[in-house]
A and B are shown apart, each in its own frame.
Chain A
Amino acid sequence: MIEQKRMSTTSLEALFQRYKTAGWWILAPRAEGDITTFGEVDSPGDVAAGLIQTTLSPKSAVLPIWEELFRFRRGESGIEVVEAAESSVPTIIFGLRPCDARAFAALDAVFTWDSQDEPYLARRNKVAFVSIACNQADDYCFCTSTGGGPGDTAGSDLLLTGVGDEYLVEVVTERGVELAGIAGELFGPAEGMDKAAHLASVPVRFDLDRLRQVLPKTFDREELWIDQSLRCLGCGACAYVCPTCVCFDIQDEATRHGGARVRCWDSCGFSLFTLHTSGHNPREVQSHRWRQRVMHKFAYMPERLQVLGCVGCGRCSRACPVDMNLAEHLAVIAESGE
Chain B
Amino acid sequence: MAEFEPKVTAFVCTWCTYAGADLTGTSRIKYASNVRVLRVPCTGRIDFMYVLQAFTQGADGIIISGCHPADCHYTSGNYHARRRWIVLRALLDFVGVDTRRIHFAWVSAAEGAKWADLVNSVVSNVRELGPYDEYRQTIPAHIRPGGIAV
* Residues of A bordering B, CB below 8 Å: 68, 71, 73, 80, 82, 253-255, 257-260
Contacts and interface: CB of A to CB of B under 8 A. Distances in A.
A255 B145 contact: yes
A282 B19 CA distance: 52
Contact of A259 (B57, B143, B145): B143
B150 A73 contact: yes
Nearest to B58: A255
B78 to A, nearest CB: 31
Given A68-B142, A260-B142, A255 B57 contact: yes
B96 interface: no
Contacts of A255: 57, 143, 145, 148
10 contacts: A71-B142, A82-B150, A253-B142, A254-B143, A255-B57, A255-B145, A257-B147, A257-B148, A258-B142, A259-B142
Interface of A is mostly: strand
Contacts of B150: 71, 73, 80, 82, 258
B58 to A, nearest CB: 9
Interface residues of B, number: 8
Contacts of B145: 255
Interface string B99-117: 0000000000000000000
Best-buried of B57, B142, B143, B147 by chain A (most CB within 10 Å): B142
Interface in B30-78: 57
Best-buried of A68, A254, A258 by chain B (most CB within 10 Å): A258
B59 to A, nearest CB: 14
A5 B140 CA distance: 46
A254 B145 CA distance: 11
**Which 3 residue pairs across A and B have the least CB separation, nearest first?**
A260-B142, A82-B150, A258-B148
Given A71-B150, A255-B143, A259-B143, 10 more contacts: A68-B140, A68-B142, A73-B148, A253-B143, A254-B143, A255-B57, A255-B145, A258-B142, A260-B142, A260-B143
Nearest to A261: B142
Contacts of A253: 140, 142-143
A260 B150 CA distance: 10
Contacts of A71: 142, 148, 150
Contacts of A257: 147-148
A255 B148 CA distance: 9
Contacts of A82: 150
Nearest to B56: A255
Nearest to B147: A257
A165 B145 CA distance: 55
